[in-house]
Chains A and B, each alone.
Chain A
Amino acid sequence: MKKEPARVIHYMNQFFAGVGGEEMADIGVSFRDGPVGPGRPLETMLAGRAHVVGTVICGDNTASRGDPETLQDIITEIESHQGEILVAGPAFNAGRYGIACGAVCETVQQRLGLRTFTAMYPENPAVEQYRRSLVIVPTTSSAVGMRDALARLAVLISKTFDGTPLGPAREEGYIPHGIRRIELAQRTAAERALALLLRKIAGSGYETEVPLATYEQIVPAPPLTKLSEAIVGLVTEGGLVPIGNPDGIRHVWAKNWAAYDITGCSEFAEGQFEGVHGGFDRTWVEADPDRLLPLDIIRELAAAGIVSGVHDEFFSTVGNGTPVSTCSQFGREIAQRLLKDKVNVAILSAT
């Protein structure tokens, strides 16, 4: 008997649904019949084995907050439209969208028991948060790679429909879960280890059976012994700069950081600073930059003797889409400057 095509529900944000950009990021959950935006080429690629029967849309701000009510609204839409498979994204390197896709997929897997798929750039912060529980297809950092990402998703969805269990990440092309499964090998561990060693010595390719995790361990700084002796450094990845952005810090994929003098300033004066971060609505930061970087409060604490003082410069860059490797380099450089200037506490505000 011919199997009925699987019913796919597609989750996406306000931008990809064509509702609007940042100004619409606070919209709530809505549903449209059939495919929308990137769901249309996905529907074509599924070639009748599955159909995108509907699209759940939610603003990035609303979804990334992860409120139980929002997630329940999404669950309700999927249930009421008899979804059998959920696809979320692709989210590429969009932080809030990635988090939203991860939260929605994980919740749907746990509560409805459905198979879910999402796709994003390997350095999207949501990958680290959700890769153990979700099938995440790697993508380019921007939507340039949309067709390729959708094609990979379509292959995985089709396999699910056929009832074929998904193989290991390295064979199927999704981001590894970091889970080890027990398999029966024909040769002993000693024999396999020697074979690997011989291949390594011979310079031919080899693949370890036990890949080591390469995550950087961040060691917390030792606690302050005396807060009253603290010289506070102010650092932000929120893109706060003097009007005119004199160092040309990019709104996305930043290539540099900069330091700006705040000697004698009791606060960040309105109208003298601007935000150049391209990933959030900067209206309120520009109205009161102290809410991004609390110079006014630290000055009050210094005046009251609670801390010793504030460093004469603040440090700024943009973390929007900036690769982890670049951010690490910026962090090292800024930390060296702070240490040289005898700063012993840094407040790092992020967006």
Chain B
Amino acid sequence: MDLGTQQHVLDTVQRHGAENIIVLLGAPDPAGAEMFALTLTEGDPTYAGPLAGVSLGLRVYHILESEVRQLVDPAVYADQVGIMALALDSDAIIAMMQHMRDGQA
């Protein structure tokens, strides 16, 4: 996650509180999703950005997960996400997200 985005996340959490925020990811592969999820929960694993050593513990989901999908108008989902969901390795991304959340529990 680039340094500017990390600062933006930090500002948003300070303004609204971590308990009021859920982060929705759109990373196209499991490794990318893991990096984002780690940064938003345990802190920036690269130690380069404003979230280094900052454990926000945010709740993190991916747009491909069923919990998210069922909240979206099916027509909108099909239009905005549909083809990409087929092209990406959805099972691996979802497994990674669940693994990350289990690790937080």
Contact = CB atoms under 8 A, between A and B. Distances in A.
Nearest to A18: B48
A71 interface: no
B45 A147 contact: yes
Contacts of A20: 3
Nearest to A42: B47
A146 B52 CA distance: 12
B57 interface: no
26 contacts: A15-B46, A15-B48, A17-B48, A18-B3, A18-B48, A18-B49, A20-B3, A21-B2, A37-B48, A38-B48, A39-B47, A40-B47, A40-B52, A40-B53, A41-B47, A142-B31, A142-B35, A143-B35, A144-B34, A144-B38, A146-B47, A147-B45, A248-B87, A252-B29, A253-B29, A253-B31
B40 to A, nearest CB: 13
A230 B3 CA distance: 49
Contacts of B52: 37, 40
Contacts of A248: 87
Contacts of B48: 15-18, 37-38
B35 A144 contact: yes
Interface in A36-92: 37-41
Contact of B45 (A18, A141, A143, A250): A143
B3 A146 contact: no
Interface residues of B, number: 16
Interface string B1-15: 011000000000000
Interface residues of A, number: 21
A144 B42 CA distance: 11
Contacts of B45: 143-144, 146-147
Interface of A: 15-18, 20-21, 37-41, 141-144, 146-147, 248, 250, 252-253
A143 B46 contact: yes
Contacts of B49: 18
Contacts of A38: 46-48
Contacts of B34: 142, 144
Interface of B: 2-3, 28-29, 31, 34-35, 38, 45-49, 52-53, 87
Contacts of A37: 46-48, 52
Contacts of B53: 40-41
Contacts of A147: 45
B76 to A, nearest CB: 21
B85 to A, nearest CB: 12
Nearest to A15: B48
Given A15-B48, A40-B47, 14 more contacts: A15-B46, A16-B47, A21-B3, A37-B46, A37-B47, A38-B47, A39-B47, A143-B35, A144-B45, A146-B45, A146-B46, A250-B28, A250-B29, A252-B29
Given A40-B53, A144-B35, A144-B38, A16 B29 contact: no
Contacts of B35: 142-144
A323 to B, nearest CB: 12
Contacts of B31: 141-142, 144, 253
A147 B46 CA distance: 9
B58 to A, nearest CB: 17
The 6 closest A-B pairs by CB, nearest first: A38-B47, A143-B46, A37-B47, A37-B48, A18-B48, A143-B45
A248 B3 CA distance: 27
A143 to B, nearest CB: 4
Nearest to B87: A248
Given A21-B2, A144-B34, A16 B28 contact: no
Nearest to B37: A144
Contacts of B2: 21
Contacts of B3: 18, 20-21
Nearest to A248: B87
A56 to B, nearest CB: 15
A37 B3 CA distance: 12
A144 B37 CA distance: 10
A255 B53 CA distance: 33
B5 to A, nearest CB: 11
